[in-house]
Structure 1
């Protein structure tokens, strides 16, 4: 897929240096905003999206027509409310919804970047977000918030810009990617690259798309977003539109049909090369590792208040990962709140109807606003 024309976009006024040593020349950033910026510019909330998310956090998606990916949290009467907040959400660089990425035209050739696009990191994504805030003339956020990869970006933002957010909310996330998660990502990447329609990354120029490989990558990843208890409750071993097994390799079980549906609907809205680049950025993520310093040292001096939230059924980024972040924040003397919520939905609980999560985030944001 070629990137659609986003509702709002800008080209950065300066080039963007990257951790790999290369530079993106005035890259394009696609973003959405909701609400009205206060006269003192103090009510801005930056929402970071996860791996397969985009800037359409609470507005209709231009490809699928579906509601925004976090309407449970963002919207009228929600914890992040356009009546109170100026809400910003941008597509990450490397993405495929209008920000500079492998499907964007390479300025040097006019053809899609494909694998000529530089390898990026979470820190690079945050660097682009900070440049967007500069362009919007927002010096300091009320909150930086995100779940999963969005939580990684929120933590990275707090480290790289310690005085630029009054509060940080990091949900279902980690300070470093584990070997298990790197392994799952590698399975997905290999599925994409093994698809003959991948064409060594130049499928757009060839008029082809590695749909099957990308669908398998999505299926494998989607399993990690769920929990065993949730899968059992929802599907068990129930058969799909049949009374007996087929003794073949069709989708006999409901869970098989569900995963196939998840895979095939995903390929209509996501670019296969973006999947490679973003998963690689997540794999490289190790907040303390790059500096060689203890994690607590990275948070020293930050003025932000932190809320760290985990779910008891999340095995992708389990509560132990959140506790490690909390321990570092406490050691650094940062104002820190932590809660583990109970949910049968696994990692995806932060995207679903989880009333207790909404209560926690709403209370935390209102307490931050009250300190103004």
Structure 2
């Protein structure tokens, strides 16, 4: 699986209407599209951290829920998605949703996070492209997509929107807030911003502050999109299918996906094998690993939006739970409830030392849990049995 929870063990066909169909300029959900299971919350004018004099006007948050909030209001669980995920954490691919739930292994009947027991909530982040206000959304002044006008948003802006959602749903305190990668970052921000409203957190394959190495990887991804002439400075929404920035977002995805897997896994899985009968040595063919990455490039372009990729990558770069709070350790000292910190031993994007720092900083952590996997960062999805065992054990203590 990849960072969004979509199966990737085979790559013979692309997502979308068919391998030969033109890739849309943007695969963002737009007003008038089938809503699927989405609900929509109007947030009004959302203040933005990086622009103290500005707001995101008429902001909307798209979210989904499963189960019911009990009378005691103590069974609410928030699942925070990663970079290219969305609110559809559980369920099948269906009208309004390009893919099945990105964490079906963890959420659902008989799973650790079970709607028969929990009130489960997940929202598409501000800046996203699956129903929440983002670059593809209509600007309130003229109804045209925000495009290049969309403001810089931070991880804290996303959490500010999620806090308003919790208020709307009547959730005074989350029983658990869990999320992988970027989702784990938001769980940590919740712990620092609203420590008394979170009963337990579980950051998975994440970090308390984005490192220079992680910023470097995402910078090259952003640059790939900006360099695509069909990106048009961010105002490409009127382009015909096949005439959008799919090359740029595809290259960004290839760079990112390489960091989601380990060197050992790629070497063992593909070696120097050719793709099919093709010969890449001056004859126009591909190595198998090249074909694999190109598949993921096309696959993301068919279900995502280039401006959103940039906005969320920059938000990840902004992430530092200790910024303005005396450092990561001081910021997380505000939170004293339980924490389940999970790392993947072969993760080269968010390596073990990131989670070890969190484990040391969180007084409620009972030792880091390590997923043993050759896969790398995607191990939190691929190694479902290990993840389920960790979460089941933790959930019983809450």
Same fold (TM over 0.5): yes
Does structure 2 conserve the Cα–Cα contact (< 8 Å) formed by 1:72 and 1:353?
no
- Find the aligned partners of 2:104 and 2:96 in 1 and give their Cα distance: 17
Matched residue, 1:240: 275
Contact 1:9 1:28 in 2 (8 A): no
User: What's 2:192 paired with?
Assistant: 159
| C-alpha separation in 2, matches of 1:23 and 1:103 | 17
Question: Which residue among 333, 354, 359 is the counterpart of 2:389?
Answer: 359
Q: 2:332 matched to 1:299?
A: yes
- Counterpart Cα distance in 2 of 1:206 and 1:254: 32
Secondary structure at 1:140 match in 2 = coil
Distance 1:292 1:339 in 2: 27
Higher helix share: 1
Q: 1:112–1:205: 8 Å Cα contact kept in structure 2?
A: no
- CA drift of 1:206 comes to 4.2
> Residue by residue, what CA displacement relative to the aligned partner does 1:122-176 show, whole Å, maximum 9, x if unpaired?
1111111111111111111110000000000000011101011110001000111
Residue 57 (str. 1) matches residue 92 (str. 2): no
> Does structure 2 conserve the Cα–Cα contact (< 8 Å) formed by 1:143 and 1:167?
yes
Contact kept in structure 1, 2:192 and 2:334, CA below 8 Å: no
Q: Does the aligned pair in 1 maintain the 2:76–2:176 contact within 8 Å?
A: yes
Residue 295 (structure 2) aligned to one of 246, 253, 261: 261
Aligned-partner SS, 1:282: helix
Paired position in structure 2 for 1:287: 321
Quote the residue 2:20 is aligned against: none
Asked if 2 retains the 8 angstrom alpha-carbon contact of 1:140 and 1:163, the reply is: yes
Match of 1:45 among 77, 100, 105: 77
C-alpha RMSD of matched pairs (Å)? 1.7
Please list every run of 5 or more consecutive structure 2 residues that lacks an aligned counterpart in the other structure: 1-25
Structure 1 residues 232 and 12: CA distance shift in structure 2, 3 A: same
Secondary structure of the corresponding residue to residue 197 of structure 2? coil
Which residue of structure 1 aligns with residue 308 of structure 2? 274
Alignment of 1:1-372 (within 5 A): 1=26, 2-4=28-30, 5=33, 6=35, 7-21=37-51, 22-61=54-93, 62=95, 65-207=98-240, 208-242=243-277, 244-251=279-286, 253-288=287-322, 290-291=323-324, 293-330=326-363, 334-368=364-398
- Secondary structure of the residue aligned to 1:118 is coil
Q: 1:276-323 CA deviation, whole Å, 9 max, x = no partner?
A: 1000000111111x2150322212342421110101100100110111
Judge conservation of contact 1:111–1:205 (CA < 8 Å) in 2: no
Q: What's the CA shift string for 1:3-25, capped at 9, x where partnerless?
A: 24433232335421111222122
Separation of aligned partners in 2, 1:63 and 1:229: 37
Deviations along 1:225-256, whole A, 9 cap, x unmatched? 001121122211121111744424432x1111
Question: Is the CA contact 2:335–2:362 (under 8 Å) kept in the aligned structure 1?
Answer: no
User: Are 1:121 and 1:284, in contact at CA under 8 Å, matched by a contact in 2?
Assistant: yes
Equivalent-residue separation in structure 2 for 1:243 and 1:273 (angstroms):
35
1:12·1:131 contact (CA, 8 Å) conserved in 2?
Answer: no
Please, which runs of 5 or more residues in structure 1 have no aligned partner?
none
Aligned 8 A contact 2:275 2:285 in 1: no
Counterpart contact for 2:205–2:342, Cα < 8 Å: yes
